[in-house]
Amino acid sequence: MKIVMTGATGGIGLEAAQRLVSDAATRLTIGARTPDRLPGPLRGRAEAVALDLASLTSVRAFAAAVAERDPIDVLILNAGIQNVTDAKSADGFELSFAVNHLAHYLLVRLLLPRMAPGGRIILTASGTHDPAEKTGIPPPRHIDAARLAWPHQDPDLDRRRMVRGQRAYSTSKLANVMTARELADRTGDTRPDLTIIAFDPGFTPGTGLARDYPGPSGLIFRFLLPLLVKKTDRVSTPQNSGRLLAELATDPGHAGLRGRYMAVRRQEVVDVPPSAVAHDAELMAQLWDNSAGLVGL
């Protein structure tokens, strides 16, 4: 089985990758910014190819290298950041939107022709995309690709940098959910064999997602918030969510899911409805088409 994966060098992704390579029949290719510095558990067990998700040029080079090889059985688009520094990508886009959505959207578009019959595509999303979840992270206000790529164009942009960054993250995760759903719709006639999933790993402390949070905010997110929410059914661990991600990639019981939102509930993964906005067919189509323009397709 040929698996291509982003976000496999730490957190949930590393846990999933270790489970995947435990099967001798699995050939795992990882996109990594420093291919020669894979974590110990993956050295000699996975192939690393250079990939900087903050650069569309790098994304295209990675896709070209992967496309030259055997067809892909599973494409796991797991990498994610939560930028709270107003940083931009190499292409001038807001960094969280660029890495979490645009880079993965481009990979999906470029690698779709290389998906093997019965292949699976999984995009890691987040419950923060849904205002009803009340996660503590500011929920999306809109899904306008241009305003997300260039936030200075947004007249309603949050004044506080931390809030701007958190909302950019939750909105990028809404984009992941909508991309999975739109991909399922657009491939209904041409690739009905594909399994296409948006995965919510739950609230998972210990992944390093809040590593850029300054001072007290970082301490609250890493240590206090987990204590406050530990009794909810949406809390998980990197080990558990990594296990569930690996199962979504390989378990026959998950084959055939089309644009479904699979979320961690009580330490297991279940099929739940995403946010109301994620059901809006017109907005999904607009996001798809506008993202194509941003990445040059």
First to last CA, the chain: 29
Q: Give the confidence band of 209 by pLDDT, cuts at 50, 70, 90.
A: low
Angle at 182 between CA 62 and CA 171, to 5 degrees: 75
Contacts of 271 (CB under 8 A, 6+ apart): 257, 260, 261, 262
Dump pLDDT digits (tens) for 23-46.
999 999 999 999 999 999 999 999
Contacts of 185 (CB under 8 A, 6+ apart): 259, 281, 284
CATH number at residue 45: 3.40.50.720
The DSSP annotation for 133-171 comes to: G--SSPPPS---HHHHHSGGG-TT--SSHHHHHHHHHHH
Exposed, middle or buried, 113 (CB in 10 Å: 0-12/13-18/19+)?
exposed
Contacts of 222 (CB under 8 A, 6+ apart): 205, 210, 213
Angle at 258 between CA 257 and CA 259, to 5 degrees: 120
CA distance 111 to 75: 9
CA distance 206 to 15: 12
β 258-265/268-271 pair status: antiparallel
**pLDDT over 80 at 221, yes or no:** no
The residue type at 185: D
Q: Give the confidence band of 135 by pLDDT, cuts at 50, 70, 90.
A: confident
Average pLDDT, the chain: 92
Averaged pLDDT for residues 173-190: 98
| Least confident residue range of 3-12, 47-56, 64-73, 198-207 | 198-207
CA distance 271 to 147: 31
Count of other CB atoms within 10 angstroms of residue 280: 15
Averaged pLDDT for residues 215-239: 62
Cα separations (Å) of 144 from 2, 141, 152, 289? Answer: 35, 9, 13, 11
Dump pLDDT digits (tens) for 37-81.
999 999 999 999 999 999 999 999 999 999 998 999 999 999 999
**pLDDT over 60 at 222, yes or no:** no
The whole-number pLDDT of residue 160 equals: 94
Count of structural domains, the chain: 1
Structure letter (DSSP) for residue 42: G
pTM of the model as a whole = 0.92
**What is the token pair recorded at 277?**
């906005």
Task: Write out the residue range of the structural domain in which residue 274 sits.
Answer: 2-295
Dump pLDDT digits (tens) for 251-270.
999 999 999 999 999 889 99
CB 45 within 8 A of CB 91: no
Averaged pLDDT for residues 129-141: 93
The whole-number pLDDT of residue 99 equals: 98
The whole-number pLDDT of residue 266 equals: 86
Indicate the angle between helix axes 103-111 and 161-186, nearest 10 degrees: 20
The whole-number pLDDT of residue 233 equals: 78
The residue type at 136: G
CB 102 within 8 A of CB 294: yes
CA distance 238 to 176: 20
